[in-house]
């Protein structure tokens, strides 16, 4: 679709970030409907947008690191909407957008840096239980994406340094599912420990399925201080929420509610669940997700705002 976009202020962009297969496309499409916004779909996918190559999957920069101008230039273009590409615009349906929703699955570890550089850009961080997330990826036959994470010295010798032994053991596993659980941990440890709950809005995929009306109201309240005053009330109807996302490759019935969230308990072999959750506990992320199919803490308690505390040491 051809479109005309005149406002390139990053404050007119809502950045939605989460791990792959966590429901980011579904939530992005709901938000696009709610805001009448342009959807910019995964602009950091370098296979489709080659000029974004300076930003690797899981890219990590210290929040106060202003030295990487190549990364800064990519994010400046993306968050100002100065990107036109057949891939990133393939789902856009708005001809004259005044806002953008940038949906990305490769930038979780870059979020602390992003919010410092773009203080007026609202950020939504989506989390889904690591077991069904990893199971969905492995069932689709997709490989893990560990290499870009493991090869980053700033990440492996920075916030993830205390976990080198745990990471090495899990990365060597012959089980793709287990390696993808590791990927989930490497993608979510940094944002959980470095993001500030006063600045970033956390959404649980499971809560969005269980109570879409309540979650949409929480999102609306979060966006109001950013001047997002064009929330369309019709989005609170069942239509937008019940519509399958364009990345619903497994044909999941999105109207099935709790059954949709509980299905993995019977699909994933118990021994693999136990091993996956042991890995999650090793990173201290079991304070968010454990054996329950729902998060074990409220969304507003997820982010620790840089207070690493006891979670920095691997759990035994």
The three-class DSSP label of residue 127 is strand
pLDDT recorded at residue 227: 77
pLDDT recorded at residue 258: 74
pLDDT recorded at residue 246: 54
Sign of the alpha-carbon dihedral angle for 280, 285, 287, 293: negative
pLDDT recorded at residue 245: 53
* Separation CA 99–CA 121 (nearest Å): 11
Report H helices in the chain.
Answer: 24-35, 69-79, 111-117, 130-139, 147-150, 153-156, 164-171, 176-194, 205-210, 212-223, 238-242, 258-262, 264-267, 270-282
Q: What is the DSSP letter of 67?
A: -
166, two tokens:
């745990």
Name 13's bridge partners.
100
* Separation CA 276–CA 292 (nearest Å): 13
pLDDT tens, per residue, the chain with 316 residues: 689 998 999 999 999 999 999 999 999 999 999 899 999 999 999 999 999 999 999 999 999 999 999 999 999 999 999 999 999 999 999 999 989 999 999 999 999 999 999 999 999 999 999 999 999 999 999 999 999 999 999 999 999 999 999 999 999 999 999 999 999 999 999 999 999 999 999 999 999 999 999 999 999 999 988 876 666 655 544 455 666 555 544 455 555 567 889 999 999 999 999 999 999 999 999 999 999 999 999 999 999 985 544 343 444 3
pLDDT recorded at residue 178: 98
35, two tokens:
């805001």
* Separation CA 277–CA 68 (nearest Å): 36
* Separation CA 280–CA 259 (nearest Å): 24
CA triple 297-195-205, angle to 5 deg? 45
* Separation CA 224–CA 19 (nearest Å): 26
Domains belonging to the chain, first-starting first, are 10-306 (3.40.50.300)
pTM of the model: 0.91
Q: Using the structure block, give the residue that is written with the tokens 């792959």.
A: 20
The three-class DSSP label of residue 10 is helix
* Separation CA 121–CA 11 (nearest Å): 4
């Amino acid at each position: 679709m051809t479109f005309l976009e005149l406002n390139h202020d990053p404050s007119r962009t809502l950045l939605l970030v989460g791990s792959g297969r966590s429901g980011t496309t579904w939530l992005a499409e709901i938000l696009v409907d709610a805001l009448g916004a342009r959807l910019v779909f995964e602009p950091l996918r370098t296979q489709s947008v080659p000029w974004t190559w300076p930003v690797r999957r899981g890219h990590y920069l210290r929040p106060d690191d202003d030295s990487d101008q190549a990364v800064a230039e990519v994010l400046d273009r993306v968050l100002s909407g100065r990107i036109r590409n057949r891939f990133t615009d393939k789902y856009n349906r708005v001809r004259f957008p005044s806002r953008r929703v940038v949906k990305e699955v490769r930038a979780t570890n870059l979020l602390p840096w992003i919010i410092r550089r773009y203080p007026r850009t609202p950020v939504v961080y989506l989390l889904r239980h690591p077991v069904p997330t990893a199971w969905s990826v492995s069932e689709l036959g997709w490989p893990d994406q560990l290499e870009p994470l493991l090869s980053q010295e700033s990440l492996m010798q920075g916030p993830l340094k205390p976990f080198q032994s745990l990471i090495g053991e899990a990365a060597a596993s012959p089980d793709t599912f287990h390696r993808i659980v590791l990927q989930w941990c490497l993608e979510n440890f940094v944002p959980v420990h470095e993001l500030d709950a006063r600045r970033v809005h956390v959404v649980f995929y499971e809560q969005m399925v269980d109570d879409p009306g309540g979650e949409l109201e929480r999102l609306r309240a979060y966006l109001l201080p950013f001047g997002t005053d064009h929330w369309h009330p019709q989005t609170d109807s069942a239509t937008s929420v019940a519509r399958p996302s364009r990345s619903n490759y497994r044909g999941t019935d999105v109207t099935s509610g709790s059954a949709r969230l509980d299905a993995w308990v019977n699909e994933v072999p118990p021994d693999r669940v136990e091993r996956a959750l042991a890995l999650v506990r090793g990173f201290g992320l079991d304070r968010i997700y454990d054996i329950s199919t729902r998060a074990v803490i409220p969304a507003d308690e997820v982010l620790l705002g840089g207070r690493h505390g006891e979670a920095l040491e691997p759990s035994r």
